[in-house]
Structure 1
Amino acid sequence: MRILFTAHAGKSHLRLLIPLAQAAVRAGHTVAVADDESMREESVSYGLEFFPAGFDWAKDPFCVEAIALPLFRGDQEAYEDGLVECVLGPPALAAARDILAVAADWKPDLIVREGEEMGGLLAAESLGIPHIAVAGGSTHLLPPAVTNGPLNALRAELGLPADPDDNSAYRHGLISWLPAECTGDDLDPRTLRHYRQTAPYRSDDKALPWLAELADDKPVVYASIGTMAPSMPWKSDEVLHAVIEAVSGLECTALVSIGVGRDPEEFGEVPAHVRLLTEWVPQDVLLEAADVFVTHGGHSSIREGLRSGTPMLVTPMYDDQPNSAEHVADVGSGINLPAYWVTGETVTEALGRLLTEPAFRLRAAAVRRSVLACPPVEQLVTDLEELVAVHAAQEETCVS
């Protein structure tokens, strides 16, 4: 089986697909990634063949106007509207054409796409092969009622007939790495299936010997604002400063990721028990060592926090983060503290609760058990093998 994975440019977007891609490779299948050129190095670090397709939304005038300006203004509603316009607009059509060019030689049997990446869907339908979506942080903004009309308009651009199926975006399957209690009613249930997430392996994963040297008489607080927010300091630096102020006054060991390559001196002098991280580190490893996770609420971080059973303080700023933060609070695994409420005092109070109130730790452990109860990713590979085989048999019957 040949599986082509498609995503939007962004490390966390690609990371959503990697556990399945690596499991497929282990099962003997041929796998490749089609994404913006900026994701080549990231794909190779996971050991995957790469093809350039699509483009970086941050450099596209259409998406900049639709998304970047509302983001800069802090207008969440306009941002979400702009995101849907980009997902179901010209960027999807351009990506589909690039993916079709790749597929002409590579000849995939199946396309697996990030839930918000519609170019892969359009390419799969042009090729007459199945497509699977893996739900990302903003997939909840794309129910069938939203996607069906615009997708038919895009199909017409590719010379495809309109599809009357109101679930056409997810008809072959919608996959979530979170259990049902963590997705609520966000996702259409008709083809939704839940599987157990695993931590992807990167060739540049580093040993972290200093973890073994942390104080054994203090709780460990790990804080990170992801890979994208550090590039927007006007949104993230206030949060980082507040977190550093809070952990500086707590009896804990604090590991604070401030962004790859940033100068720690930007944040002033910190006490000895606070370590500012400026290199990429495997977050799943740090979460296993942490007693509390302070996160911006990106989908990958939330998934990894729930998977590790680490109580979370979520400080959402934009995009899918407010929705994810609400889910964490709803299941009792943490506290939702929107960025506009974040100060040194509010973070100190929230961390105090997470470190001292057993209910958060117990609920986080219970949710982790729900994650572990889901079928493993290897079962998903088997299910995809069956999907492709059934589709091929149907196609053969139609031809004959």
Structure 2
Amino acid sequence: MRILFTAHAGKSHLRLLIPLAQAAVRAGHTVAVADDESMREESVRYGLPFFPAGFDWSKDPFCVEAMALPLFRGDQEAYEDGLVRCVLGPPALAAARDLLGIAADWHPDLIVREGEEMGGLLAAEKLGIPHVAVAGGSTHLLPPAVTHAPLNALRAEFGLPGTDEVNCAYRHGLISWLPAECTGDDLDPRTLRHYRQTAPYRSDDGSLPWLAELPDDKPVVYASIGTMAPSMPWMSDEVLNDVIEAVCGLDCTALVSIGVGRDPEDFGTVPAHVRLITEWVPQDVLLEAADVFITHGGHSSIREGLRSGTPMLVTPMYDDQPNSAEHVADVGSGINLPACSVTAETVTEALERLLSEPSFRLRAAAVRRSVLACPPVEQLVTDLEALVAATAQEETCASW
């Protein structure tokens, strides 16, 4: 089986696909990643062949006007509208054209796309092969009622017939790395299946000897605001400064990721029990060692926090983060503290609750068991094999 994985520029978007891609390789299948050129190095770190497709949204005038400007203004409603226009607009058409060129020589049997990447859907329909989506943080903003009409418009522009099928964006399958209790009613249940997430392997994964040297008489608090937020310091640095001030006054060991390559001096002098991390580290490993996780609420971080059973303080800023923070609070695994309400005092109060109230730890452990109860990624590979085999037998694209 030959599987082409498609995403749009963003490390967290690509990371969503990596566990399945690596599992498919282990099962003997041929895989490749198609994404914006800026993701080539990241794909290679995961040991996966790469094809350039589409363009970098952050540098495209249409996407900047539709998404980046509302983000800069803090207008979440306009941002969500812009996201839909980009996902179902020019970026999808550009990616689809590139994917057809790749497919002419590479001949995929299946396209697995990140939930916000629609070029893979268009290319798959043109090729007559199935496409399966992996739900990301913003997939809840793209329900069938929202995607149906714009997708038909894209089909017409791409020379494809329209369809009356409302659920056409996910007709062949929708994958979630979270258990049902953590997705709520956001995703369409008709083609949705839940699987157990695994930590992807990167070639630059290394040992963390300093982790074993941390004091054993204090709780460990780990804080990170993801891969995107540090590139937007006008939004993230205020939160980081308040988090650092809070942990400086807390009786704990604090590990704070401030962004790869950033200067710790930007955040002032910190006491010995606070470590500011400026290099890439495997977050899933740190979460196994942490008693509390402070996160911005990005989808990758939420998935990893739930998987590790670590109680979370979520400080959502934009995009899918408020929705994810609500899910964490609803299942009892943590506290939702919107970025606009973050101060050193509110962070301190929330951390004291997370460290002292047993209910957060118990609920986080229960949710972790729900994650572990999902079928493994190896079963997902088997299910995709069956989907491709059924398509070959029926001479039309099957669904699971």
Q: Which category of TM-score, normalised to the shorter sequence, fits these structures?
A: over 0.9
Q: Which residue of 2 aligns with 1:6?
A: 6
Q: Which residue of 1 aligns with 2:104?
A: 104
Partner Cα separation in structure 1 for residue 159 and residue 81 of structure 2: 27
Alignment of 1:1-400 (within 5 A): 1-395=1-395
> Matched residue of 1:188: which SS?
coil
Counterpart contact for 2:195–2:374, Cα < 8 Å: yes
Counterpart contact for 2:94–2:119, Cα < 8 Å: yes
Counterpart contact for 2:99–2:123, Cα < 8 Å: yes
Partner Cα separation in structure 2 for residue 127 and residue 396 of structure 1: 11
> Matched residue of 2:196: which SS?
coil
Partner Cα separation in structure 2 for residue 76 and residue 170 of structure 1: 25
Opposite residue 300 of structure 1, the aligned amino acid is: S
Question: Among the aligned pairs, what percent are the same residue?
Answer: 89
Opposite residue 188 of structure 1, the aligned amino acid is: D
Partner Cα separation in structure 1 for residue 59 and residue 243 of structure 2: 31
1:170: Cα distance to partner?
0.3
> Matched residue of 2:5: which SS?
strand
Counterpart contact for 2:18–2:200, Cα < 8 Å: yes
1:40: Cα distance to partner?
0.2
Partner Cα separation in structure 1 for residue 124 and residue 334 of structure 2: 39
> Matched residue of 2:395: which SS?
helix
1:89: Cα distance to partner?
0.7
Moved over 6 A (4+): none
Opposite residue 11 of structure 2, the aligned amino acid is: K
> Matched residue of 2:355: which SS?
helix
Q: Spell out, residue by residue over 1:235-280, the C-alpha distance to the aligned partner (whole angstroms, 9 max, x if none).
A: 0000000000000000000000000000000000000000000000
Partner Cα separation in structure 2 for residue 253 and residue 311 of structure 1: 16
> Matched residue of 1:20: which SS?
helix
1:334: Cα distance to partner?
0.2
Opposite residue 353 of structure 1, the aligned amino acid is: R
Opposite residue 343 of structure 2, the aligned amino acid is: T
Partner Cα separation in structure 1 for residue 220 and residue 68 of structure 2: 35
Partner Cα separation in structure 1 for residue 144 and residue 194 of structure 2: 19
Partner Cα separation in structure 2 for residue 54 and residue 289 of structure 1: 38
In structure 1, the gaps of 5 or more residues are: none
Change (3 A) 1:271 1:16: same
1:84: Cα distance to partner?
0.4
Partner Cα separation in structure 2 for residue 98 and residue 352 of structure 1: 51
When the two chains are superposed, the root-mean-square deviation of aligned CA atoms in Å is 1.0
Change (3 A) 1:7 1:83: same
Counterpart contact for 2:196–2:376, Cα < 8 Å: yes
Partner Cα separation in structure 1 for residue 19 and residue 298 of structure 2: 17
1:230: Cα distance to partner?
0.3
Opposite residue 158 of structure 1, the aligned amino acid is: F
Q: Spell out, residue by residue over 1:51-106, the C-alpha distance to the aligned partner (whole angstroms, 9 max, x if none).
A: 00011110001000000010000000100000000000111111110111111100
Partner Cα separation in structure 2 for residue 175 and residue 61 of structure 1: 31
Partner Cα separation in structure 2 for residue 96 and residue 331 of structure 1: 38
Q: TM-score, normalised by structure 1?
A: 0.99
Opposite residue 95 of structure 2, the aligned amino acid is: A
Q: TM-score, normalised by structure 2?
A: 0.99
Partner Cα separation in structure 2 for residue 29 and residue 391 of structure 1: 17
1:396: Cα distance to partner?
8.0
1:195: Cα distance to partner?
0.2
Counterpart contact for 2:128–2:396, Cα < 8 Å: no
Partner Cα separation in structure 1 for residue 69 and residue 396 of structure 2: 49
The more displaced of 150-159 and 379-388 is 150-159
Opposite residue 252 of structure 1, the aligned amino acid is: C
Counterpart contact for 2:35–2:52, Cα < 8 Å: yes
Partner Cα separation in structure 2 for residue 340 and residue 144 of structure 1: 32
Opposite residue 249 of structure 1, the aligned amino acid is: G
> Matched residue of 2:222: which SS?
strand
Partner Cα separation in structure 2 for residue 259 and residue 174 of structure 1: 32
Q: Spell out, residue by residue over 1:354-377, the C-alpha distance to the aligned partner (whole angstroms, 9 max, x if none).
A: 000000000000000000000000
Opposite residue 110 of structure 2, the aligned amino acid is: L
Q: Spell out, residue by residue over 1:115-137, the C-alpha distance to the aligned partner (whole angstroms, 9 max, x if none).
A: 01000000000000000000000
